[in-house]
């Protein structure tokens, strides 16, 4: 799982972005993205299916690079696990 946060106190901006890879009941690899305001329940999510784990990991890495360029950092106390 990758968990990132972005904080800009002056603008009261406190966002999180999480990406996880799992298998569904049929054995398909799914990449689950979640994002929203830190400390709030809910937020939004998006799920995308992949044929292979390597395809899912490549997508996860691309999403992480994009978010890091936008100012997101590793969230406090959250493990940054790699596959």
Dump the DSSP string for the chain: -EEEEEEEGGGTEEEEEEEEEEE-TTS-EEEEEEEEETT-S--EEEEEEESSHHHHHHHHHHHHHHHHHTT-EEPTT------
Give pLDDT tens digits for 65-81: 999 999 999 987 554 44
Share of the chain above pLDDT 90, in %: 82
Q: Where are the domains of the chain?
A: 2-71
Q: What band does 51 get if pLDDT is binned at 50, 70 and 90?
A: very high
Mean pLDDT of all residues in 26-48? 93
**Which architecture, in CATH terms, is 2-71?**
Roll (3.10)
* Count of alpha carbons within 13 angstroms of residue 16, beta-carbon side: 20
What is the reported pLDDT for 81? 44
Mean pLDDT of all residues in 31-58? 94
Which pTM was predicted? 0.85
What the block records as the tokens of 68 is: 């890091």
């Amino acid at each position: 799982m990758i968990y990132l946060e972005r904080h800009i106190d002056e603008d009261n901006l406190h966002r999180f972005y999480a990406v996880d890879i799992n298998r569904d009941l049929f054995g398909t690899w799914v990449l689950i993205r979640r994002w929203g305001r830190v400390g709030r329940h809910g937020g939004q999510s998006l799920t995308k299916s992949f044929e292979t784990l390597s395809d899912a990991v490549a997508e996860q890495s691309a999403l992480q690079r994009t978010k890091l360029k936008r100012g997101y950092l590793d969230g406090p106390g959250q493990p940054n696990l790699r596959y």
